[in-house]
């Protein structure tokens, strides 16, 4: 059994300046103000349209992340419908052999310390589920059958693409204090990357 922390990876780096110029060019079509485009005009323009709520303009740019988290988090994540998802399949991935090495990997809950009684109970439960999964596979159960006992804590990988407007919507909801702690943990990692790369689009959000 392996226990790991969740992680977030920007799938491909991007030219932030080029994205900003693209958004400005698209937005200025609305006002026929293309003649006002200058080398340093994109940031002010984008901040202005976001402040006015004209966020459809930022839909012209998308960003993709590969997220490693537990399956409970992905159940919430995929509720954001203006997005594309490709997720590790428990139906086709055999966690009893091959590249998985006969180990199941679980995501450590962020709300319990290692010496917490609840964490120790969780860890014991995951170990038993791993043992039972491997027994089911040894008894001839297919991966798609054995997966029926796998928990929300199972590690999964998901490739996510959203346009910038939807990332803003996602971050507003999922970095809020009312969000599930594990969902918020992942969302904050995404926010830290996006606000660093595209501050004009994301730094008005205050998690």
Residues marked active site are found at: 174
Which of 193, 187, 189, 182 is closest to 169 using CA atoms?
187
Pairing relationship of beta strands 2-4 and 105-107 according to DSSP bridges: parallel
**CA 156 – CA 67 distance, rounded (Å):** 8
- Residue 136's Cβ-side half-sphere holds a number of Cα atoms within 13 Å equal to 18
Residue 53 belongs to what H/E stretch? Answer: none
- Residue 167's Cβ-side half-sphere holds a number of Cα atoms within 13 Å equal to 26
Q: Where are the alpha helices (DSSP H) in 110-161?
A: 117-138, 143-146
Which of 83, 111, 56, 40 is closest to 170 using CA atoms?
83
């Amino acid at each position: 059994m392996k226990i790991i922390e969740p992680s977030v990876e920007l799938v491909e780096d991007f030219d932030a300046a080029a994205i900003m110029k693209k958004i400005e060019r698209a937005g200025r079509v609305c006002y026929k103000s293309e003649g006002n485009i200058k080398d340093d005009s994109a940031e002010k323009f984008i901040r202005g349209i976001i402040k006015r709520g004209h966020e459809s303009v930022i839909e012209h740019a998308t960003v993709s992340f590969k997220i490693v988290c537990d399956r409970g988090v992905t159940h919430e994540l995929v509720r954001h419908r203006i997005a594309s998802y490709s997720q590790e399949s428990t139906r086709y991935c055999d966690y009893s052999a091959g590249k998985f090495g006969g180990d199941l990997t679980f995501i450590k809950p962020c709300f319990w310390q290692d010496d917490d009684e609840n964490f120790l109970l969780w860890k014991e439960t995951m170990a038993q589920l791993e043992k039972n999964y491997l027994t089911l596979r040894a008894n001839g159960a297919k991966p798609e059958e054995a997966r029926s006992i796998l928990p929300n804590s199972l590690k999964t990988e998901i490739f996510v693409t959203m346009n910038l407007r939807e990332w803003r919507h996602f971050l507003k909801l999922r970095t809020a204090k009312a969000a599930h702690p594990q969902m918020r943990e992942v969302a904050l990692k995404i926010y830290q990357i996006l606000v660093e790369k595209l501050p004009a689009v994301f730094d008005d959000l205050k998690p």
